Amino acid sequence: MANTIDSKNKRDRLAPRREPYWELLKKGAAIGYRRLESDGEGTWIARWRDDEGKQKYRALGNFKEFDDAAKAARAWVTACEQGASPKVTTVKEVCETYVDALKAEGRTSTAKDAEGRFSRLVYEATIGKLAIDKLKTSNVQKWMNDQIDDDDEADEEDIRRSKDTANRNLATFKAALNLALNNRLVATDAGWKTVKAFPKVGARRKDAFLGMEQRTALMKACPDDLKLLVKAMLLTGARPGELATLNASDFDKRLGCLTLKGKTGARTVAISTAAAAFFAEVGKDKIAAAPMLATSYGQRWNKDSWKKIFKEAVDAAKLPSAVVMYSLRHTAISEMILAGMDSFIVAKLAGTSVAMIEANYGHLKHSVVTAKLDAVAML
C-alpha cells in the first residue's frame, strides 16, 4: 500500500485523517492506523473479508508497537476464520444471552438465580464491560477474589461462606461463558477455563457446635481477657468483630439492650437478663467511648490478637481442632433455635437473614417441632 505504518517515525509523518492508513497482513486481512489530530499515539483497527466478500472491522485500541497491534489483528482474524463472531460482544451481553436461553428452556428459577448473581456482580462491574474475546484469566480470578469477605470483622467462617458463595457464582458465570463459546462468540475458553473454585469450602466446619461441658472447659482454658470475649459471644451470638467494636455506651442498662455495629450496619437488640448483668459488670466505671471488651493491654480485640490465644485455649480444653471463634456464634444461634425461638427473631438478633437461618439451622427447627409433636397424644 502507498502508506506504511510499521514504524513510529513513519506513523508520525502521516497526516491526521478519519480514514485509517491500511497495511495488508494477508489476502483478505489488513491492519489500519488512524492518525489523531492531537499529539500522542493513534488507534489501531483490523479489517477482514468474510466468505461472502463483506468487510468486517474490529477496533483494537492503542498499541505503541506495530508488531503488538498486528498480533492482536491476526488473532481476531484467525478467530473469525474459525467461525467466531466478528462483532464485539461484551461479557454483560454474554450473561444476558445466557439468562434469556434459560428462560427459553423454561428454567425460570435457574434464570432468576443467574440474573440475580449477574446483576450484583457483572452487569455494572468492570468485568461486564470487557469484550468476551479480551477476557483474561487474571480478570476472572480478580473477580473471584473481590467477592471474598476478608475485612477486619470477618472471621474464618465468614471467609469460608463467602468463598463458597463465590464458587457458586463462578459456576453460573462459566456456564454463561461456555454458552458464548458454543455460539462461536469467542474462539477459545482460555480466558476462564483454568480459573478454579476455592477448595474445601462447600460445607460448614464439623464439630462447630460446643456442648455445655465443652463451653465450660474452653472458658477455664482462656486467659481472663479472652474469657470475657468468649462469654459475650455465647451470651449474644454476635460476630466477634461486632463485640470488638462495642463501646461501653453501646449497652443500655435501663432497657437491657445492645447496639452492635458491623458488616450489616448498626442494630439494637434485646439481650437476656444474664447478658445484661454481664455487660453491666464489665462496663462498670468505664467512660462512654471506652471499649466494652478489651485485651489485657487495654486495646480493642481483632483477629490477630485473639486467633493464636484462642487456638491455644481450644487445644488446652481438648476440643476438636475445627473449633474457631465463629463456633461460639454458631453455638449461640443453635441454642436459640433449639429453645424454640422464631427464625425472624433469631435473624434480627444475629444480624443476618431469615433465609440464612433457615438454610443453616432449619434442621434444628424441625427437631424442635418434632419434639413438641411427640408430646401431643394423637391416638
Residues 130-154: tens digit of each pLDDT: 998 889 999 999 999 999 876 655 5
- Residues 365/354, Cβ–Cβ less than 8 Å: no
- pLDDT at position 309 over 70: yes
Residue 361 to residue 342: CA distance in whole angstroms? 12
Average pLDDT of the chain, as a whole number: 88
Cα 229 to chain centroid distance, Å, stands at 28
Stretch 289-310: mean pLDDT: 93
Q: What's the average model confidence in pLDDT over 194-198?
A: 94
What pTM was estimated for this model as a whole? 0.56
Which 8-state DSSP code applies to residue 130?
S
More confidently predicted of 206 and 50: 50
Residue 319 and residue 313: Cα distance in Å, rounded? 9
Strand locations in the chain (E): 21-26, 29-34, 43-49, 55-61, 251-252, 257-262, 265-270
